[in-house]
Structure 1
Amino acid sequence: MRLKLEITQDVMANLLDMTQATYSRKERGLTKITNDEWNRITEVLDVDRSEVIEENFKKDSIPTNFTKRSSTIPNGLLDQIAFLTKENLELKEKIRKLENQDN
């Protein structure tokens, strides 16, 4: 959701009163996000809690080998991977719609 809104980790961390490194660890699931932090995140993103809460995160949206090695992959690269994954899914959906129009 943060990437969709084009909010950087630095900006998000500042809005949540934490360092970028702390925010990054929370976003990657290395550190637990408290209920108070979830409430602040939903306020910043202006979304319903159910749209971003941990339990609804699709673990299969990022390949397992990335999550296992996330501590060795730079944060910027993980952000790029997430962005490109989302963009790839959107492009596949557009292709599918175009193919359906032709049929």
Structure 2
Amino acid sequence: MEKLKNLRKQRGYTQDYMSKIIATDVSNYSRKENGEVRIFEDEWEKLAKALDVPVEQIKEEKTASVVQNNDNFTDHAVGINYNYYNVPNQVMDNLQDYIKILKEQIESLKQEVKTLKSKK
């Protein structure tokens, strides 16, 4: 995601600043900027707006791939395999939608708890 990174630096913005724009932590933003984690459409739009450019100027699509990292430890005869797979965009979008709904429900429940506590 070199276009995004370069423009962010040109504008003098920190990763911390950009992470706040898409409501995530700096570590996750860094992974997004480095292409390790997917940037969603709504995030591209927010980032482009913050950088005052069209989305097309910063958006880069990463090709899907499967990465296998096999770490085998011979001490104590333990073998650990880590497999990382790219999840299809449609599945990720559905999961993001579901997460959004869950966050809204959590907020609603927090308000309900607050209301109930205030009635005591």
Task: Give TM-score, length-normalised by structure 1.
Answer: 0.51
| Equivalence for 2:18 | 12
Q: 1:42 aligns with which of 39, 45, 48?
A: 48
Structure 1 position 50, deviation (Å): 1.3
- Two-structure CA RMSD over aligned residues (Å): 1.4
Equivalent in 19, 22, 28 of residue 28 of structure 2: 22
Does residue 51 of structure 1 match 2:43? no
More strand by share: 2
Find the aligned partners of 2:38 and 2:60 in 1 and give their Cα distance. 9
Number of the residue aligned with 1:93: none
Task: Spell out structure 1 runs of 4+ moving beyond 6 A.
Answer: none
1:3 to 4, 9, 14: 9
Secondary structure at the aligned position of 2:8 is classed as: coil
Sequence identity percentage = 36
Would you say how many aligned residue pairs link Structure 1 and Structure 2? 56
Q: In terms of Rg, which structure is larger? A: 2
TM-score of the aligned structures, taking structure 2 as reference length: 0.44
* Higher relative helix content: 1
Provide Cα deviations, 1:6-48, integer angstroms capped at 9, x if missing partner.
Answer: 1000111012211000100000000011111101111111101
| 1:3 Cα deviation from its structure 2 partner | 0.3
Distance between the aligned counterparts of 1:36 and 1:15, measured in 2? 11
Larger RCO (CA within 8 A; separation ≥ 6): 1
